[in-house]
Amino acid sequence: MTIRVLIVDDHEVVRQGLRFVLEQEEGIEVAGESGDGAAALHAVRGLRPDVVLLDLVMPVMDGLAVLERLRGEAGRPAVIVLTSFQEEDRVVEAVRLGALSYLSKTTAVDQVVEAVRAAARGGSVLEPGIAALLLGRVRQGGRPRPLDLLTPRERQVLSAVARGRSNAEIARDLRMGRETVKTHVSSILAKLGVADRTQAAIFALQQGHVPLDEALG
């Protein structure tokens, strides 16, 4: 049984690198490559790969959108998420959407091979740094990350703050009173341990709570 792999990444060098590494292995075959999420979805349906190596940050349609579309489909492939640094929030979101394994692009190449084999067996491989991140999230013993302390509504408000909106604008956007926005913002500042909205915005962008390229629409 050869393991058939689909590689999804917008950087061609990365695709070539992964292809090169994987094709040197016995029992692994690269079934195809895609440069964006839309193409990836099409490829998954056409090629029916066993394993998908999926980059999270991509133009057109990003990795999370692909995961979301794939969820619940019959005979969907095992997905290994490839992340860069500083996308903690997106990684956690990917977990929620059912991705099996997570690798940082900084990891050694033999770990990639290992992850592919594990994923084909239905197993899961976690790069140490990412494992630590997820464990810290799941286990309630470790102090929760600041962003987890926020209520859903506060997260919405924080998103707006990180997009450069004023309290009055946020009030209009989210259909609530200006005073309410202020209440939420105050809670956010307290929970995040920052001094003002600018620092809160920077924090949100750093954590990937709002993608940098979507801020300031």
Helix (H, G, I), strand (E, B) or coil at 145: coil
The length of the chain in residues reads 217
Helix (H, G, I), strand (E, B) or coil at 24: coil
* Pairing outcome for strands 28-34 and 78-83: unpaired
Q: Which does 67 bind (CB under 5 to 8 A by kind): a second copy, DNA, none?
A: none
Interface residues for DNA in 149-178 (CB under 7 A)? 151-154, 166-168, 174-178
How many angstroms from the chain centroid is the CA of residue 174?
25
State how far the Cα of 111 lies from the Cα of 26, in Å rounded to an integer.
15
| 8-state DSSP, 67 | H
Asked whether position 194 contacts a second copy by CB under 8 A, the answer is yes
CB of 154 to DNA, least distance (A): 5
Find the binder of DNA among 4, 89, 183, 205 (CB under 7 A): 183
CB of 62 to a second copy, least distance (A): 13
Please identify, among the stretches 33-41, 62-70, 127-135, 191-199, the one whose residues bind DNA according to the rule CB under 7 A.
Answer: 191-199
Binding site for DNA (CB under 7 A): 151-154, 166-168, 174-180, 182-186, 189-190, 195-198
